[in-house]
Amino acid sequence: MGVLIKNGTIVTALDEMRGDILCRDGTIVDIGREISGNGEDEVVDASGHCVFPGGLDPHVHMALPFMGTVSTDDFEKGGTAAIAGGTTSFIDFVIPNRGDDPMEALAAWHEKAKNAVTDYSFHMSVTWWGEKSEEWLARCVREKGITSIKVFMAYRGAIGVDDTELVRALTAAAKLGVIVTVHAEHGEMVVELQNKFFEAGRVEPKYHALSRPSPVEGEATNRVLMLAELTGATVYIVHMTCAEAVKALAEARERGQLAYGETCPQYLLLDDRVYEKPDFEGAAYVMSPPIRPLGHQEPLWAGLQSGILQVVGTDHCPFNQNGQKDMGRDDFRKIPNGAAGIQDRLSLLWHHGVRAGRIDRHRFVDLTSTRAAKIFHLYPRKGSISVGADADLVVWDPEGTRTISAKTHLHGNDRSIFEGFEVKGIPSTVLVNGRIAYRDGDLEVEPGSGRFLERRVPE
């Protein structure tokens, strides 16, 4: 038995049509008008609704050990929240500790993913550079199905790399033809400012943001783009937050450099006044890079509109306010960095992007699914509605509404950084590998059904 979606407006990154989609054995087998199926297919009436490729989030951290604790969502819980929001696959990050064997870390991440309810892949983080590092990266590419790496220019002394290690990683990536995803902040300056504030008795959450001002991100973005150009590497700047970083990427692309940029809903929709919330509530918004002052949001929107930025991810990495974030009540440097967002990404971008007239629905599909699938070598299996593609599909109700709240979200933490946001545009039905996993608020997920997506560098 398959699933037949009838009478929907099928929307892709390029075009749209009114029609039907027939899914069998986890793949799309027919697209057209008046498809009848075989009488045993489960029919989903999509009249008045759009049908999109399932969302692909290329930036999540499930069950991440970080800053003395572990993020609350694992591959089952985070994947369930993703499905409820219309995201049907994601890419997580394998993050070895400094000095650890990346192959052992990869095995540990595969173990963590055994309860996955959606398909997933990995970026391999380079947290240090040694004599075997290039060999390890080559194994990731040729044997392990991983075609992207991650470098952190922040988190000095932990998972961050120095410039010598960064250059070596970029050089190796260029040889292997893999993409380097980059957390761009000047790590040394961050530590200097953190210590300055703390030693002056300034310990509240707002000093997290003040210790990581936008020039710190702008400088690091400029620097890694320059190094990438000189080494021949292709870089993808993650979670871009500020005008300086967008300007750096725009100038690189104007020079003809192949480089990509990603932002997240929190940087498009929030500003740094959130850190002034009383009773330590500002800690819920502590993430790196931090949420910026007013004036940085519109350059990000313009970047999405113009194509300077190609992807909207989430950096989904939730922690509880009580029992985790409050470890830093007397020292902002100890507040675990991260927040939840995978359930909310599509609705927030639809409401504040499509409905607000900032982007059209084709750009919406591109930003939430298709472009990431192309950049990270998953297209057309993911990110497309085409015969032979995986049947990851979202039937979207453009008039459906939801009020975002920690009281009702499926994320595993006790705060929502979008608490009280009302959105119009929500999933009504979500197919994961051809099976209805979500319909009108009801979930039917299968722990362990998610598959690891092996990727290959194109010939």
pLDDT in tens, 133-164: 999 999 999 999 999 999 999 998 899 999 99
220-257: pLDDT as tens digits: 999 999 999 999 999 999 999 999 999 999 999 999 99
Backbone angles phi, psi at 426, to 5 degrees: -145, 160
pTM of the model: 0.98
- Where residue 241 sits, what CATH number does that domain have? 3.20.20.140
Q: How many CB atoms lie within 10 A of CB 186?
A: 21
Range(s) of the domain holding residue 73: 54-375
Structure confidence at residue 410 as a pLDDT band (50, 70, 90): very high
Residue 436 domain-assigned?
A: no
Structure tokens at 346: 């599509």
205: confidence class by pLDDT, cuts 50, 70, 90: very high
Q: pLDDT (tens digit, 9 = 90+) per residue, 306-327?
A: 999 999 999 999 999 999 999 9
For residues 402 and 387, the answer to whether their CB atoms sit within 8 Å is no
Amino acid type, 227: L
In-domain check, residue 427: no
**pLDDT for residue 39:** 83
* Span 105-136, pLDDT tens digits: 999 999 999 999 999 999 999 999 999 999 99
Model pLDDT for residues 153-203, shown as the tens digit of each residue: 999 889 999 999 999 999 999 999 999 999 999 999 999 999 999 999 999
Mean per-residue pLDDT, 60-76:
97
Total domain count for the chain? Answer: 1
Q: How far apart are CA 393 and CA 385, in angstroms?
A: 8
Q: pLDDT category, 459, cuts 50, 70, 90?
A: confident
**45 within some domain:** no
List, in sequence order, every residue forming a beta bridge with 262; answer none if it has no partner.
Answer: 311
Q: Let me know if residue 28 belongs to a domain.
A: no
Within-domain flag for 74 = yes
Q: Indicate if the pLDDT at residue 37 is higher than 90.
A: no
Looking at residue 38, what is its pLDDT?
87
Please, what is the Cα angle at 339 between 336 and 340, to 5 degrees? 145
Taking the C-alpha atoms of residue 453 and residue 54, their distance in angstroms, rounded to an integer, is 15
Residue found by looking up tokens 């409050």 in the block: 326
Average pLDDT over residues 33-61: 95
Backbone angles phi, psi at 56, to 5 degrees: -120, 115
Residue 128 within a domain: yes
Q: Is residue 451 part of a domain?
A: no
Residue 424 lies in a domain: no
* pLDDT of amino acid 3: 98
C-alpha distances in Å from residue 280, one per residue of 75, 168, 339, 403, 416: 29, 41, 15, 24, 14
pLDDT at 224: 98
Question: Over 90: is that where the pLDDT of 344 sits?
Answer: yes
